[in-house]
């Protein structure tokens, strides 16, 4: 264990960091990245970005909701994030009478800001390296089961200690480098967040699914919220007496604009990457995981799209659900395409061969580095079929058929049924029952009922199910909840039988999956530890795990194919060129925007050529969770909001492609133009610190 801790320390102080690849841990920026950042144009000190003793840029960056990043941009707790990050909150606040998704929303003052129920933001108050506390007492000869059990015990004890030391705050201790290293993060959670402004989807979601992950891009992907606090500036549940959060640190805004080669950095909460994924895992991804996800979600999305296009109320109900599903669906398509086109598997195999040769020649059997790759290979083959079936159950029933979700709901029943339509769900369920049987030989027991009582006709069963279940509307659920014996009433409902049959098959399949996962956990931990031992001078970056990270690079164009060069920015000219009356869902341009364009009424937000910039590229290393992250210039000033990656480098979560990988960001000048000139909400611009 001492050898491992020494190894991690060496990795932490290496100065040979790559500028564009790497999601870097903030406590190590001074040792690992500051010289390289300065060489690429950064004018900040490491302490300006992250400091354990004083206010720094880190204090303006928050977790927004459950899966995005936001940044505080004023002393009064004003917050910028992406439109697609705020989408769920905007949808919940929308109705046919007040369709904020289609029409946008702009408060004229604090009193008009709308409480976003269930939405919170989390500030990172402290970060501690606790590796020694978590694994320091684990013998080097410990089995993986003993290693993980002891680490978990140590973790729970330390969480309790830190929570006592920081009352009212949340503490998490995730693993890094395959659970070889651990950091504690102390969060302060503010549960009163209010919608301040959002452009219509024709701006905030311009391009829709067609343009998602694509460049050139012309999407004004931003929304505005405000954090509220009690009068003591501490977190407080929503109250009309709460006041805007008084920020200790907020980002200044730069209108200087960007040019090719400019330094750019992004701070945020990247969700998940798998840069240490092996060729064995890539096989499963390409052959099973991604094809199943693409097919199942594609079938569901076709049904949802038809219903959404036919009825405004249904569109409002399902818009956010559709967007979440479609985003990962297209990501999976691009991921498979990128991995195959860029021959990522062969690169992984070369690394694995070198690792195994090194392990055989340079390590002792008791270190078990020679076992790392065989364990991973076994984990991918032994439960392959069970994993595939579990994914199908999850995608087809637990995520697609909302009647099953309703049976497992233990809170927010009213919110669930606000966005539920039984006719839509019935149509989805029919298709899911069909495709599950067509593609699986392990069926939930409900299919026995379908065969015995409905002659194998799953459509007939689904009609019977939705005609007889008391879980298809809030009104019916209320009658069920009024029963003297609610449990008996629930268990008598036809949807209960369906849900239990799915859960029963889950339980049958799970033991094999758990056994395989234990092998993978051990092999993965040993493999990463071995790689770091094999190359102790390399600056290793841990996979993303939705903890705060820094990435940096430069504003750059790229060439996706022979003879094609993409510029590093787009303008409003491209918005107008993409208008398509035959595709009003994705390519509608608001009349007000066309009026401003015709007059070239861009105000101070035009560039030196009189053009209005919309989006730009920077070669930073981001992934899901970074949505809404600030793109900052060399002085730490806000120049844009990160919102996407590019199609040609969709393999980036597995293997970073420095020549191709780009972050797509909406230019802050377009954001402010929409706020001030389009929406007439200049009071919000006046609240910012603009340089």
The model's pLDDT over 591-613, given as tens digits with 9 standing for 90+, comes to 999 999 999 999 999 999 999 99
What does the pLDDT look like over 563-592, one tens digit per residue? 999 999 999 999 999 999 999 999 999 999
Q: Is the pLDDT of residue 21 over 90?
A: no
The stretch 277-281 carries a mean pLDDT of 97
Q: The domain spanning residue 624 has which CATH number?
A: 2.40.10
Average pLDDT across the chain, whole number: 95
Indicate the pLDDT class of residue 20, thresholds 50, 70 and 90.
low
Classify residue 391: in a domain, yes or no.
yes
The dihedral built from the CA positions of residue 126, 127, 131 and 135, taken in this order, carries a sign that is positive
Q: Is 645 helix (H, G, I), strand (E, B) or coil?
A: strand
What does the pLDDT look like over 154-179, one tens digit per residue? 999 999 999 999 999 999 999 999 99
Q: Is the pLDDT of residue 299 over 70?
A: yes
What does the pLDDT look like over 460-483, one tens digit per residue? 999 999 999 999 999 999 999 899
Pairing of strands 105-106, 114-115: unpaired
Last residue of a domain, one of 495, 528, 561: 528
Could you tell me if 481 and 629 lie in one domain?
no
Q: At what angle do helices 312-341 and 290-310 cross, to 10 degrees?
A: 150
Classify residue 628: in a domain, yes or no.
yes
What does the pLDDT look like over 116-155, one tens digit per residue? 999 999 999 999 999 999 999 999 889 999 999 999 999 9
pLDDT given at position 8: 47
pLDDT given at position 318: 96
Residue 551 CA to residue 539 CA, distance in Å, equals 14
Could you tell me if 681 and 595 lie in one domain?
yes
**Do the Cβ atoms of 490 and 480 come closer than 8 Å?**
yes
**Do the Cβ atoms of 94 and 320 come closer than 8 Å?**
no
Could you tell me if 513 and 558 lie in one domain?
no
The residues assigned a catalytic role are 84, 221, 627
Cα–chain-centroid distance for residue 266?
15
**Do the Cβ atoms of 99 and 313 come closer than 8 Å?**
no
What does the pLDDT look like over 135-145, one tens digit per residue? 999 998 899 99
Could you tell me if 373 and 304 lie in one domain?
yes
**Do the Cβ atoms of 643 and 84 come closer than 8 Å?**
yes
Pairing of strands 105-106, 192-198: antiparallel
Least confident of 447-451, 580-584, 611-615, 625-629: 580-584
Q: Is the pLDDT of residue 3 over 70?
A: no
Total domains in the chain come to 2
Residue 647 phi/psi, 5-degree rounding, is: -55, -40
Could you tell me if 608 and 506 lie in one domain?
no
Could you tell me if 572 and 491 lie in one domain?
no
What does the pLDDT look like over 41-52, one tens digit per residue? 999 999 999 999
Q: Is the pLDDT of residue 324 over 60?
A: yes
Q: Is 105 helix (H, G, I), strand (E, B) or coil?
A: strand
| Cα–Cα nearest to 94, from 397, 419, 357 | 419
pLDDT given at position 81: 98
CB environment 426-447: b (16+ within 10 A), e (fewer): bbbbbbbbebbeeebeeebebb
Tell me the DSSP string of 473-508.
Answer: SHHHHHHHHTSSSHHHHHHHSHHHHHHHHHHHHHHH
Could you tell me if 505 and 614 lie in one domain?
no
Classify residue 145: in a domain, yes or no.
no
Classify residue 237: in a domain, yes or no.
no
What does the pLDDT look like over 355-375, one tens digit per residue? 999 999 999 999 999 999 999
Greatest pairwise CA separation for the chain in angstroms: 74
Could you tell me if 355 and 491 lie in one domain?
yes
Say what the pTM is. 0.93
For 455, the enclosing helix (H) or strand (E) is: none
The dihedral region occupied by 108, where left means phi > 0, alpha psi between -120 and 50, and beta the remainder, is alpha
Classify residue 212: in a domain, yes or no.
no
What does the pLDDT look like over 382-398, one tens digit per residue? 999 999 999 999 999 99
> Domain range spanning residue 450?
279-528
Classify residue 371: in a domain, yes or no.
yes
Could you tell me if 400 and 492 lie in one domain?
yes
Classify residue 377: in a domain, yes or no.
yes
**Do the Cβ atoms of 385 and 429 come closer than 8 Å?**
no
187 pairs with which residues across the strands? 124, 170
Could you tell me if 423 and 365 lie in one domain?
yes
Could you tell me if 457 and 589 lie in one domain?
no
The stretch 339-346 carries a mean pLDDT of 94
Could you tell me if 498 and 560 lie in one domain?
no
Classify residue 297: in a domain, yes or no.
yes
């Amino acid at each position: 264990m001492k050898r491992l801790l020494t190894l991690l320390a060496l990795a932490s102080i290496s100065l040979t960091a790559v500028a564009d690849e790497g999601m870097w841990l903030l406590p190590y920026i001074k040792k690992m990245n500051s010289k390289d950042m300065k060489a690429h144009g950064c004018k900040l000190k490491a302490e300006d970005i992250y400091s354990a003793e004083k206010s720094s840029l880190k204090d303006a960056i928050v977790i927004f909701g459950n899966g995005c990043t936001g940044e505080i941009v004023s002393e009064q707790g004003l917050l910028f994030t992406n439109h697609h990050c705020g989408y769920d909150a905007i949808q919940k606040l929308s109705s046919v009478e007040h369709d904020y998704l289609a029409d946008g929303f702009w408060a004229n003052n604090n009193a008009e800001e709308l409480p976003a129920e269930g939405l919170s933001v989390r500030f990172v108050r402290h970060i501690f390296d606790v590796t020694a506390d978590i694994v320091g007492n684990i013998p080097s000869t410990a089995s993986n089961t003993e290693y993980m059990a002891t680490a978990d015990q140590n973790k729970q004890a330390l969480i309790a200690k830190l929570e006592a030391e920081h009352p009212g705050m949340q503490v998490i201790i995730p693993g890094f480098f395959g659970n070889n290293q651990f950091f504690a993060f102390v969060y302060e959670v503010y549960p009163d967040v209010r919608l301040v402004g959002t452009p219509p989807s024709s701006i905030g979601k311009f391009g829709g699914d067609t343009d998602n992950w694509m460049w050139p891009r012309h999407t004004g992907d931003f929304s505005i919220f405000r954090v509220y606090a009690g009068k003591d500036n501490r977190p407080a549940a929503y109250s009309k007496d709460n006041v805007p959060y008084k920020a200790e640190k907020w980002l200044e805004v730069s209108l200087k604009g960007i040019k090719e080669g400019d330094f750019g950095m992004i701070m945020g909460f990247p969700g998940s990457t798998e840069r240490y994924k092996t060729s064995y895992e890539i096989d499963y991804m390409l052959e099973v995981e991604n094809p199943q996800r693409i097919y199942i979600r594609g079938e569901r999305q076709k049904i949802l799209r038809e219903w959404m296009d036919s009825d405004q109320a249904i569109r409002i109900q399902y818009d956010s659900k559709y967007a979440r599903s479609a985003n990962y669906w297209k990501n999976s398509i691009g991921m498979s395409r990128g991995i195959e086109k860029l021959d990522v598997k062969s690169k992984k195999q070369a690394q694995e061969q070198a690792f195994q040769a090194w392990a055989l020649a340079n390590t002792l059997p008791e270190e078990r580095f020679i076992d790392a790759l065989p364990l991973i290979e076994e984990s991918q083959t032994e439960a392959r079929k069970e994993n595939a079936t579990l994914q199908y159950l999850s995608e087809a029933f637990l995520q697609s058929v909302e009647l099953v979700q309703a049976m497992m709901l233990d809170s927010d029943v009213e919110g669930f049924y606000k966005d539920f339509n039984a006719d839509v769900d019935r149509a989805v369920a029919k298709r899911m029952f069909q495709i599950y049987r067509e593609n699986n030989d392990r069926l939930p027991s409900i299919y026995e009922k379908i065969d015995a009582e409905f002659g194998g006709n799953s459509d007939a069963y689904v009609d019977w199910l939705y005609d007889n279940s008391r879980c298809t509307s809030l009104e019916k659920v209320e009658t069920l909840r009024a029963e003297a014996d609610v449990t008996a009433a629930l268990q008598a409902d036809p949807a209960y039988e369906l849900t239990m049959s799915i859960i029963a098959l889950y339980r049958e399949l799970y033991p094999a999956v758990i056994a395989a996962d234990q092998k993978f956990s051990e092999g993965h931990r040993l493999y990463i530890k071995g790689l770091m031992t094999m190359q102790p001078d390399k600056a290793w970056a841990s996979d993303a795990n939705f903890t705060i990270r820094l990435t940096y690079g430069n504003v750059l164009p790229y060439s996706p194919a022979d003879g094609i060069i993409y510029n590093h920015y787009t303008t409003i000219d491209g918005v107008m060129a993409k208008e398509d009356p035959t595709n009003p869902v994705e390519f509608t341009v608001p009349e007000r925007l066309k009026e401003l364009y015709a007059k070239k009424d861009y105000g101070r937000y035009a560039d030196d050529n009189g053009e209005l910039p919309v989006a730009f590229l920077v070669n930073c290393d981001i992934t899901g969770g970074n949505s809404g992250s600030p793109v900052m210039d060399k002085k730490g000033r806000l120049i844009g909001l990160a919102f996407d990656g590019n199609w040609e480098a969709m393999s980036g979560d597995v293997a970073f492609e420095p020549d191709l990988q780009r972050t797509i960001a909406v230019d802050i000048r377009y954001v402010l133009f929409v706020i001030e000139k389009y929406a007439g909400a200049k009071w919000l611009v006046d609240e910012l610190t603009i340089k």
